[in-house]
């Protein structure tokens, strides 16, 4: 493409990868004026990936458009996916599989007790074969996924793993590089500019947004609030993914790794473990905008944005907050949010 810009090259490279259309795109970009006012600024725009379509929406549908297309090319007749119990990805795999008429086996782990609530309940309603590994971490889930695949192959099936593999993570970068292009178009059409984009990610989703921003000439800073792992380990991992994706796309963008901007300051004690700041942020968003965040990803990301706003780091800025979804997980954390003042024996004056 003689004379083409890096953005043109990225768009053309992305078109060469097959996709299964699942998400309703572009997802809305809307202002959050009451939230902005409550914080005393900055101006906040919400990118509503929670409205991406199928089931309860969520960011993983962009990724599944690529990974399920790959599975289709391999003539898969059953999907295998895994994650921690209230992870968004397995639930969205289950919904997408139902839409496409494919059976799916889900391997779930995690330290928390297993309950038919939140994402797990929706997986069951979609007809998924849900298998619980008590106490298993992601490495344990990953190994069990592979064992399930081997067992299926001995029975003559053609399974495809669509979570927790390196191929999936790199395809995630492609999906969210495409997101960055979409966001830039929406901002331009609205006559807007953004100083920063905030997202609850320390992996492929963040890496894709950063790659897209690089191709666009970095019109906005991409700020990642990781939901797992340390900032140092996540930054190294993201840099690896960006480099792999650039090679896969055949792009020669300048990337040193220093462009990665990921914080673990709002992670708390670990993945899926709510913090007071995240619970407060979820309440703040719901009470100002009527929009629900989740305790695993978006709540912690919003806690970061709130802290940056209140500390004065965002004075006079316009920021985009990426709502990656995860709303079903809220129901599995009901004990965290249930107000004690609403006990059956609560005195009447305690009621609002």
Domain containing residue 152: CATH number: 3.40.50.1100
Query: Do residues 49 and 91 share a domain?
Result: no
Residues 49 and 70 grouped into a single domain: no
What is the β-pairing status of strands 78-84 and 43-48?
A: unpaired
One domain for residues 212 and 114 = no
Which of residues 117, 148, 166 is at a domain's end?
166
Domain housing 126 = 60-166
What confidence category does residue 352 fall into, taking pLDDT thresholds of 50, 70 and 90? very low
Residue 35 has pLDDT above 90, yes or no: yes
- Mean pLDDT for 5-9 is 96
Question: Is residue 265 domain-shared with residue 227, that is, in the same domain?
Answer: yes
Distance CA 295, CA 24 (A): 25
CA distance 43 to 316: 8
Q: Are residue 228 and residue 161 in the same domain, yes or no?
A: no
Whether 342 maps to a domain, the answer reads: no
For residues 216, 266, 172 and 43, what is the CA-based torsion angle, rounded to 10 degrees? -40
Strand partners, 159: 78
pLDDT digits (tens, 9 = 90+) for 149-201: 999 999 999 999 999 999 999 999 999 999 999 999 999 999 999 999 999 99
Residues 155 and 195 reside in one and the same domain: no
In a domain, 70, yes or no: yes
Is 348 contained in some domain?
no
Does residue 345 lie in a domain region? no
pTM of the model: 0.93
Q: Examine the domain organization and report whether 51 and 75 are in the same domain.
A: no
Give φ, ψ of 196 to 5 degrees.
-155, 155
**Looking at the predicted structure, is the pLDDT value of residue 208 above 50?**
yes
Residue 78: inside a domain: yes
Is residue 36 located within the same domain as residue 149? no
Displacement of CA 111 from its chain's centroid (Å)? 21
**Residue 82: C-alpha distances to residues 61, 90, 138, 335 (Å):** 15, 6, 8, 25
In the chain, the DSSP E strands lie at: 29-31, 43-48, 78-84, 104-109, 129-132, 159-161, 196-199, 221-225, 262-263, 318-323
Picking from 26, 22, 43, the residue whose alpha carbon sits closest to that of residue 198 is 43
Write down the residue that tokens 């994402």 correspond to. Answer: 119
Please provide residue 82's backbone torsions phi and psi, each rounded to the nearest 5 degrees.
Answer: -155, 170
Q: Any residues with CB less than 8 A from the CB of 217 and at least 6 apart, and which?
A: 6, 7
Angle, helices 6-15/204-215, rounded to nearest 10 degrees: 130
Question: Domain boundary residue among 103, 132, 166?
Answer: 166
Query: Is 349 within a domain?
Result: no
User: How many alpha carbons fall within 13 Å on the CB side of residue 63?
Assistant: 29
Active site residues: 87
| Structural domain count, the chain | 2
Residues 181 and 286 placed together within one structural domain of the fold: yes
Whether residue 124 sits in one domain with residue 147: yes
Output the pLDDT for position 113.
Answer: 74
**pLDDT for residue 262 is more than 50:** yes
For the cut 60, the answer to whether the pLDDT of residue 351 exceeds it is no
* Average pLDDT of the residues in 289-305: 97
- Kindly state whether residues 266 and 178 are assigned to the same domain: yes
Q: Is residue 129 domain-shared with residue 232, that is, in the same domain?
A: no
Strand partners, 321: 46, 198
């Amino acid at each position: 493409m003689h004379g083409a810009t890096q953005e043109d090259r990225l768009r053309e490279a992305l078109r060469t990868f097959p996709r299964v259309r699942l998400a309703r795109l572009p997802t809305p970009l809307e202002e959050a004026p009451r939230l902005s006012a409550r914080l005393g600024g900055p101006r906040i725009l919400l990118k509503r990936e929670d409205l991406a379509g199928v089931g309860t929406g969520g960011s993983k549908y962009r990724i599944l458009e690529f990974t399920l297309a790959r599975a289709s090319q391999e003539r898969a007749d059953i999907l295998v996916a895994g994650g921690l119990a209230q992870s968004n990805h397995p639930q969205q795999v289950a919904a997408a599989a139902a839409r496409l008429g494919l059976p799916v086996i889900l391997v779930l782990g995690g330290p928390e007790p297993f309950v038919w609530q939140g994402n797990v309940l929706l997986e069951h309603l979609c007809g998924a074969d849900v298998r619980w590994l008590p106490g298993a971490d992601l490495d344990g889930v990953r190994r069990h996924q592979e064992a399930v695949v081997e067992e299926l192959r001995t029975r003559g099936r053609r399974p495809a793993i669509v979570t927790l593999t390196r191929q999936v993570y790199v395809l995630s970068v492609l999906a969210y590089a495409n997101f960055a292009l979409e966001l830039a178009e929406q901002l331009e059409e609205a006559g807007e500019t953004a100083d920063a984009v905030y997202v609850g990610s320390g992996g492929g989703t963040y890496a894709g947004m950063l790659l897209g921003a690089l191709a666009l000439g970095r019109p906005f800073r991409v700020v990642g609030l990781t939901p797992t792992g340390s900032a140092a380990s996540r930054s190294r991992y993201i840099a690896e993914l960006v480099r792999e994706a650039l090679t896969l796309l055949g792009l020669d963008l300048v990337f040193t790794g220093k462009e990665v901007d990921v914080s673990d300051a709002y992670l708390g004690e670990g993945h899926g473990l709510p913090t007071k700041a995240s619970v407060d942020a979820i309440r703040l968003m719901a009470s100002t905008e009527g929009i629900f965040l989740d305790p695993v990803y978006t709540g912690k990301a919003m806690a970061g944005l709130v802290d940056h706003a209140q500390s004065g780091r965002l004075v006079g800025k316009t920021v985009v907050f990426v709502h990656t979804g995860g709303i079903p997980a809220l129901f599995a954390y009901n004990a965290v949010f249930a107000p004690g003042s609403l006990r059956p024996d609560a005195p009447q004056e305690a009621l609002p």
